[in-house]
Structure 1
Amino acid sequence: MSTNVADLVLEGSQHQQETTPVDESLKPKLGSDRKIGPVSYMFMWIGDGVNLGNMTLGASLIAAGVATLNLFQTFVAAILAIGIISVVFALNDRFGYRTGIPYVVQLRMSFGIKGSIISSFLRGVPAIVWYGFQSWVGATALNEIVKVLSSGSFDSIPICFVILQAVQIVLSLYGFHAIKWVEMLASVVILLALIYVFGILLNSHSTAISEHWVNAKGTWGLPFFAFIMVFLGNYAAIFLSAADYSRELKSGISDKKRSMLYFLPIFIAYGFVLTIGAMMAAATGISNPVKAFAVIVDNPYITVGVSAFIVIGAVAVNMVANIVPPAYVISLVTKLKYKPSVIITGLLALCSFPWILVQDSSAKGLNMFILMYSAFLGPIVAIMLVEYYILRKQEVNTKELYLEDGAFQGYNPSAILAMLIGAGAAFLLVEMGWIIGFTVAGTAYLLLSKFAFKGSSFKKDTIFE
């Protein structure tokens, strides 16, 4: 049976001694509390996509003046990846959209109340690290702006880092209302700047771009599929916690329309930013977008302009991807309210040693960190989808997710074992890790749920009861 959100809230008082204590922010969000409309939702994803990291992804297609993929191959790979992202996003956001329940509580359905803590940390910890990383990059750019404006009298990245982090913490205290306006402003400003750069590239560097990228031979082999996996990897953490975003979206939007709310902004943001990154690398032979910008746009204020782009992009990415998910995890584990959890998230990001991660000597270790945590993200989302769509046929007693002694108490060994099996398989071929982990874990979870751990309470109300 499926439980209505309003019924869950109304009946909550009847289960005061049985429910797990959670902050108000983790309880189901009713329709009247949902403030994000379709347009704002799209701008939120555009703002998340137009950042320096995605531009670097496009630039990575050109190595030593040789393109691994040509223009046609790049766009085929991009459209395939964006299509997969949109479908997975819409599938995994449905539970949160229908019930108003956040990701950390949704995880209880598959992993159990205690088991969900483990899987939620696999989403929260990397987000905190990236929060600090993006903030340090933004602080570096902010320092360049202040240094230029002060004629060199000010030069302190740590001070800029603390200031930028304080600004982001204050903004995030206002929740998705602040995120909506930050993302709309960021997406408009950055897109206008990119359109200007795009025009310069077409007018002054079209020959080099055509020679080094558009008409390159490229390949349809492993690099083509690896590029798709990188695309998916960039969004893996975000569509894993899709419920955190969809529960803020106003009700009455169909599944198909929500799919387009993901596809269109991701296509616009990723497609445009990736294209400019590849064009600049082809035109200049420089893979670093910041340095390539300085060559493309010969303007005395280029340092300020590029730096402003980086600062706005860093804040935009953090507001969407790196603040809300770990704040929910902290609230779940510590029983703190949302605002203290947001402050703790920001302070933890300050302590993540991002000044070490941005160094060239740390690149190898950072890549290893990315591979280690992303190997678990594909398996977790596969387990969640199998649970909701196959085992439970989209019928969930949502009251049970908040009951200490209900069907979801403790750990679900099938989910934890399937996650480990999928992650192990992902490490066998890291270039295709996400899809391998996703497929293996989903299959393993289905088989383990059917044949293993007889009498498990997690079989209740499933097709294997």
Structure 2
Amino acid sequence: MSINLESNVAIEPKITHTPEVDESLKPKTEEGRTVSVLSYAFMWIGDGVNLGNMTLGASLVVAGVATLNIFQTFAAAIIAIGIISTFFALNDRLGYRTGIPYVMQLRMSFGLKGSVISSLLRGIPAIIWYGFQSWIGATALNEIAKIVTDGAFNSVGICFVLIQLVQIGLSLYGFHAIKWVEMLASIVIMLALIYVFGVLLASHREIITEKWVQAEGSWGMPFFAFIMVFLGNYAAIFLSAADYSRELKSGISDTKRGLLYFFPILIAYGLTLTIGAMLASATGITNPVKAFAAVVDNSYITLFVSAFIVIGAVAVNMVANIIPPTYVITLLTKLKYKPAVTITGVLALCSFPWVLVQDSSAKGLGTFVLIYSAFLGPIVSILLVEYYILRNQKVNIEELYNEDGVFAGYNPAAIIAMLLGAAAALLKVELAWIIGVFVSGIAYYLLTKYAFKDSRFKKFTIFER
């Protein structure tokens, strides 16, 4: 039984045990990797330039006073993006070098049965956010339709179904569609944001300088809390980093892949955060949509903002909320990729997003986010400890596909470590992600070393007896 030693080129292990596994879950071959460096960079730019991230920038200005000034904002952003890029490059390595998706990577630590729980913790929230983003996009699309038809058309429900059908249709083509959608979206949105930036700079420079640039701000808890919010925004995405890196053409070093995350995310967040904070400073309005209308006073503002929201919603879904749950459904149901991605879209339709966008639902939605995100840091920590420390980057890929092999069943050490990390994370919400990472990582190492002495999951690790 051989161990696959990864390098910077794709390895194509022969999977002989589970022929019923869909092709989409098997290791990507050299020929199957179609995403270029440029397309990959645009993918992360397109994912980052959206209304939600602009709102994050606007949230820095509370009651007309900035909690962080421009220097603290970008210091926190650079630190957070540096951490994000590092975790991305570390956690994408197994998927990049072997071509396996995230749901198969989970088996390495949690086992075949245990990975069902951890994969659902990524898949279910993604489906809900898929529906949520689509409803926001549908609301904006309805505004466009009302303008074009002079008020004759007014149905968010129809727009929701329409935008969902479009996204399902695009997602049937997998990453072939994603790379083109993201490239188009990122270019269009970036040009629009640069225009808004110019308008703000020309007309509201003095008040922006006073309210944000020269604000006292804080280097204390608000500064570190902002870093944690950043990490929380990307926690689910870099958890399933293998789903993206396996599509990237081979031959790219670990350092270069890290930069492929760092610079696109920096560009996207840099512009959206800046404009969000500038809009809030200039208008005193933290809702970017309403702030846009107050700043850019012309008859086309609604159309402009609505188009921005629609494109941004589709761009985010294509990267973050469609592929990961599709792989989960494919794994659990044994369906082919296309039926699974269609079911993902239908489930998003049935997620009742119109309820989630209500003011009365805000607290419940926040609780939901808090609960599931508390598990994301622990899971990625367990995967990294497993791969880099316990297995020294040596994984028997064939065994991950063997339902009767070393990884059959579930690994109690991983389950317990995940629960310990999540419990600790919920004790200090402001620092939840980083607390969960450290607690689960340490707990998993110690549990693997000292507990469950006859566990089959110790095989091929540094603790194998």
Q: Shorter-normalised TM-score: what interval?
A: over 0.9
What letter matches 1:446 in structure 2? Answer: Y
Structure 2 stretches lacking a partner, 5+ long: none
| 1:42-441 equivalence runs, <5 A | 42-441=41-440
Which residue in 1 is equivalent to 2:452?
453
- Distance in 2 (CA, whole Å) between partners of 1:315 and 1:336 is 25
Task: Please say if residues 78 and 266 of structure 2, whose CA atoms lie closer than 8 Å, have aligned partners that are also in contact.
Answer: yes
Tell me the CA shift for residue 299 of structure 1.
1.2
- Distance in 1 (CA, whole Å) between partners of 2:245 and 2:21 is 20
TM-score normalised according to structure 2 size: 0.98
Task: Please say if residues 104 and 329 of structure 1, whose CA atoms lie closer than 8 Å, have aligned partners that are also in contact.
Answer: yes
What letter matches 1:250 in structure 2? Answer: K
What letter matches 2:433 in structure 1? Answer: W
What letter matches 2:403 in structure 1? Answer: E
- Distance in 2 (CA, whole Å) between partners of 1:302 and 1:82 is 32
- Distance in 2 (CA, whole Å) between partners of 1:326 and 1:22 is 16
- Distance in 2 (CA, whole Å) between partners of 1:371 and 1:323 is 21
User: Aligned-pair RMSD on alpha carbons?
Assistant: 0.9
Tell me the CA shift for residue 221 of structure 1.
1.1
Which residue in 2 is equivalent to 1:8?
13
SS at match of 1:114: helix
Aligned-pair identity in percent equals 74
SS at match of 1:376: helix
What letter matches 1:338 in structure 2? Answer: Y
Tell me the CA shift for residue 271 of structure 1.
1.1
What letter matches 2:463 in structure 1? Answer: F
Tell me the CA shift for residue 7 of structure 1.
5.6
Q: What's the CA shift string for 1:81-121, capped at 9, x where partnerless?
A: 00000000000000000000000000000000000010000
Task: Please say if residues 20 and 402 of structure 1, whose CA atoms lie closer than 8 Å, have aligned partners that are also in contact.
Answer: no
Task: Please say if residues 11 and 98 of structure 2, whose CA atoms lie closer than 8 Å, have aligned partners that are also in contact.
Answer: no
> Structure 1 residues 7, 98: closer, same or farther in 2, change over 3 A?
closer
Q: What's the CA shift string for 1:197-216, capped at 9, x where partnerless?
A: 00011110011111111111
What letter matches 2:30 in structure 1? Answer: G
What letter matches 2:150 in structure 1? Answer: S
What letter matches 1:139 in structure 2? Answer: A
- Distance in 1 (CA, whole Å) between partners of 2:299 and 2:333 is 50
Q: What's the CA shift string for 1:66-90, capped at 9, x where partnerless?
A: 1110111000000000000000000
Q: What's the CA shift string for 1:344-384, capped at 9, x where partnerless?
A: 00000001010010111111111111100000000000000
Tell me how many residue pairs correspond in the alignment. Answer: 459
- Distance in 2 (CA, whole Å) between partners of 1:293 and 1:139 is 19
Task: Please say if residues 12 and 98 of structure 2, whose CA atoms lie closer than 8 Å, have aligned partners that are also in contact.
Answer: no
TM-score normalised according to structure 1 size: 0.98
> Structure 1 residues 232, 200: closer, same or farther in 2, change over 3 A?
same
- Distance in 2 (CA, whole Å) between partners of 1:22 and 1:61 is 47
- Distance in 2 (CA, whole Å) between partners of 1:20 and 1:377 is 31
SS at match of 2:112: coil
SS at match of 1:101: coil
- Distance in 1 (CA, whole Å) between partners of 2:429 and 2:338 is 38
- Distance in 2 (CA, whole Å) between partners of 1:196 and 1:348 is 37
Tell me the CA shift for residue 150 of structure 1.
0.5
Tell me the CA shift for residue 8 of structure 1.
2.4
SS at match of 2:4: coil
- Distance in 1 (CA, whole Å) between partners of 2:55 and 2:311 is 16
Task: Please say if residues 108 and 400 of structure 2, whose CA atoms lie closer than 8 Å, have aligned partners that are also in contact.
Answer: yes
- Distance in 2 (CA, whole Å) between partners of 1:255 and 1:441 is 25
Task: Please say if residues 11 and 97 of structure 2, whose CA atoms lie closer than 8 Å, have aligned partners that are also in contact.
Answer: no
- Distance in 2 (CA, whole Å) between partners of 1:273 and 1:225 is 20
- Distance in 2 (CA, whole Å) between partners of 1:43 and 1:6 is 26
Task: Please say if residues 323 and 342 of structure 1, whose CA atoms lie closer than 8 Å, have aligned partners that are also in contact.
Answer: yes
- Distance in 2 (CA, whole Å) between partners of 1:64 and 1:361 is 22
> Structure 1 residues 7, 206: closer, same or farther in 2, change over 3 A?
closer
Task: Please say if residues 20 and 403 of structure 1, whose CA atoms lie closer than 8 Å, have aligned partners that are also in contact.
Answer: no
